Structure 1
Amino acid sequence: MPVYLVDASIYIFRAWFSLPDRWRTPDGFPLNAVYGYAAFMLDLLEEVSADQPVIVAAAFDESLRTCFRNKLYAGYKASRELPDEALALQLRCCRELTEVLGIPAYSGIKYEADDYISSLARLAREQGQDCCVISRDKDLGQLLLGAGDVLWDAASGSRMQREQFTEKFGVAPEQMADYLALVGDPSDDIPGVPGVGAKTAAQLLQTFGSLDQLRYRFDQLAQSGVRGAARISQNLQQHWGQALLARSLVQLAEHIEEVNVLPSAYQLQAEPLLALQGWLLELGIEGPLPARCGNLAQRVRRR
């Protein structure tokens, strides 16, 4: 049975930044992120579960400043602003919206959405099932471990499997944590090794296989063909602890204690669609989106 794992926060923030401030609660709070996320979820569920049962789950971020990674490195995501009251309301509403649709929602203060997705993907692998991870976050490429696994940005339509991911980044999915440890990740305030860019990191990992192998073969760098090998070797040795710290920050947790079973099979049904229609209207969203819920409910009833 197909397994779809949604990186929900990506699409909430996409709607927050891209949609106009056209919808508001009776109290005057904006609802553009809720509107966009609701439309996104309806598009997704209509495509993957209107005509067949699937396993689907969504993960949310609520651990900014409280994640276990902040204990490892205080600067982790330090430049990101905490959500203001308006955005925090919409984030809560989007999780509630997901649950109204009957989709299991995962989040917590210790782990990030990526970690919940990673833990669910591990359970799927253990049962011999392929995963479709719905996100545009390259970090989640680490989960493309099976031939049938897919990283799908449902907003743009981009799909990558192992081969396409490796072609794009120059490293296999299982090397991605080591790659990010070398180049860093500015979006998460994770420093890399000075002087090591994307091409150099890919070449190092193509040559030596992993960060651990590289550590014991510094003396071979000069013969590796890597441009600026002497300087890079010096930087690696000077900043090796920083690289290991970075790797511990980008590696995904896959054994979250409360994530110990895959959700039950899901198929879009009329009742949750009508519940969502009423929920949207009560929240303050009128017009085409609630009407779409009603029309889709009629369609699935005729299945």
Structure 2
Amino acid sequence: MQQEIVLVDASVYVFRAWHSMPDEWVDHEDWPVNAVHGFARFLLELLERHRASHVAVAFDEALESSFRNQWYPPYKANRDPAPESLKRQFRYCQAFSRALGLHTLSSDHYEADDLIGSVLGQLRGQGFRGLIVSADKDLSQLLCPGDEQWDFARNQRWGHADVHGRYGARAERIADFLALAGDAVDNIPGVQGIGAKTASALLDHFDSLESLLQRVEEIPFLRLRGAKAHAARLREQADMARLFKRVATIALDAPVASEADAYRRQAPDQVSLQPLLEQLRIGPMTRRRIAELP
């Protein structure tokens, strides 16, 4: 039986807590810590519900310094910079994750998706399958048979075979799909005039973006509304489409630990945990949950 590594896209849940939790919680310096309290609840609930032996928790720190910004400067440029109060809370969340005994990752060059993909790539050869905890469709490109993705907030799970029905493209072609249809969240415009349905139909027929671009003269003969116009746009925007695929593809070469034991859950580090709980003014109920972790 394959072992499993749980790969947590932490930033999604920090942002969710920041937007949804009231800002009544402050630390001992009166800085807001609502996102930390929300993230702590999420992480504890995850560990209570899913007794994983191997866990990696990945945080985003490369919003403006990712290697993708060098390829395509508008990448994620539609997002406002995080205020200092939120940056402090991210640092707290990382410290809390580490203090719980979880392997915690961040990089100013690679995004959380790249860290997750690189860890999974390292451990596949050691007999592991992945459970990716995130609702982000980009991460579905990492799924192979046996892997799952878990939208924890909605308690929805899907595997490799479910990706096409969910997003309109096979897991291996999610980056091709985003190159064509675009991704507003990451400020990737895609090919002008091609939406999700058209991108799905084109990839179903041609299999990949590169095959589509090499066989663009066949598109006008497809039974597809606006086929002739789509062919013309793809001829004009072929280089940009290739660039968008490159930007949307998760890197698998981030510098991460290669040994499975590096990701094995450890007992909470009380030396760092207890002062952190005091600084964050964590209450007795959450402390009890930490003490009772399986």
**TM norm structure 2:** 0.94
Structure 1 segments, 4+ long, off by >6 Å, are none
Q: Distance in 2 between matches of 1:256 and 1:267?
A: 21
1:234 matched to which residue of 2?
Answer: 232
The match for 2:276 is 279
Is residue 5–residue 53 contact of structure 2 (8 Å, CA) maintained in 1? Answer: yes
- Indicate if the aligned counterparts of 2:132 and 2:150 stay in contact, CA closer than 8 A: yes
Residue number in structure 2 paired with 1:164: 162
Distance change (3 Å), C-alpha of 1:190 and 1:22: same
Residues 1:92 and 2:91 are matched in the alignment = yes
3-state SS of paired residue (2:88) = helix
2:153 corresponds, among 155, 178, 188, to 155
Closer, same or farther in 2 for the Cα pair 1:267/1:88, shift >3 Å?
closer
Displacement, 1:222? 1.8
Whether contact under 8 Å (2:102, 2:266) holds in the other structure is: no
**Shift in alpha-carbon separation, 1:55–1:292, aligned structure 2, 3 A:** closer
* Structure 2 CA distance for aligned equivalents of residues 65 and 258 of structure 1: 21
**Who is 2:287 aligned against?**
290
The one-letter amino acid paired with 2:14 is I
* Alignment check: 8 A CA contact 1:277 1:291 kept: no
How far did 1:56 drift? 0.6
Shift of the 248–265 alpha-carbon distance from structure 1 to 2, 3 Å rule, reads closer
Aligned counterpart for 1:37 among listed residues 36, 39, 45: 39
1:85 Cα deviation from its structure 2 partner = 1.2
Residues 1-303 of structure 1: matches in 2 within 5 Å?
1-49=3-51, 54-145=53-144, 147-264=145-262, 266-267=264-265, 269=267, 271-272=268-269, 276=273, 279-294=276-291, 296=292, 300=294
Partner letter of residue 234 of structure 1? A
- Give the 3-state SS of the residue equivalent to 1:11 in structure 2: helix
How many angstroms apart in 2 are the aligned matches of 1:103 and 1:68?
26
Query: What is the alpha-carbon distance in structure 2 between the residues aligned to residue 35 and residue 78 of structure 1?
Result: 29
Deviation at 1:55, TM superposition (A): 1.2
Is the 2:123–2:258 Cα contact (8 Å) retained in structure 1?
no
Are the counterparts in 1 of residues 66 and 111 from structure 2 also a CA contact under 8 Å?
Answer: yes
Query: Cα offset for 1:196?
Result: 0.4
Q: Which moved more, 1:278-287 or 1:35-44?
A: 278-287
- Following superposition, the deviation at residue 122 of structure 1 comes to 0.7
Tell me, which stretches of 5 or more residues in structure 2 are unaligned? Answer: none
| One-letter amino acid of the structure 2 residue matched with residue 63 of structure 1 | A
- Deviation of 1:274 after TM superposition, in Å, equals 9.3
Report SS of the residue matched to 2:260. Answer: coil
Between 1:217-226 and 1:259-268, the stretch displaced more is 259-268
Cα deviation code 1:87-126 (max 9, x no counterpart): 0100000000010011111111110000000001111222
CA distance in 2, matches of 1:59, 1:263: 17
User: Is the 1:278–1:290 Cα contact (8 Å) retained in structure 2?
Assistant: no
Mapped partners of 1:209, 1:29: distance in 2:
51
Q: 1:98 to 1:224 in 2, by over 3 A?
A: same
Q: How many matched pairs?
A: 292
Structure 1 letter corresponding to 2:31: F
1:230-262 deviation digits (Å, cap 9, x = unpaired):
000011111111111111111010012344333
Question: What CA deviation, in whole Å up to 9, does each residue of 1:13-53 have, x standing for no partner?
Answer: 0100011112101221111110011111111112222xxx6
Distance 1:265 1:66 in 2: 26
Tell me the distance in 1 between the aligned counterparts of 2:278 and 2:288.
10
TM-score for both structures, normalised by structure 1: 0.91
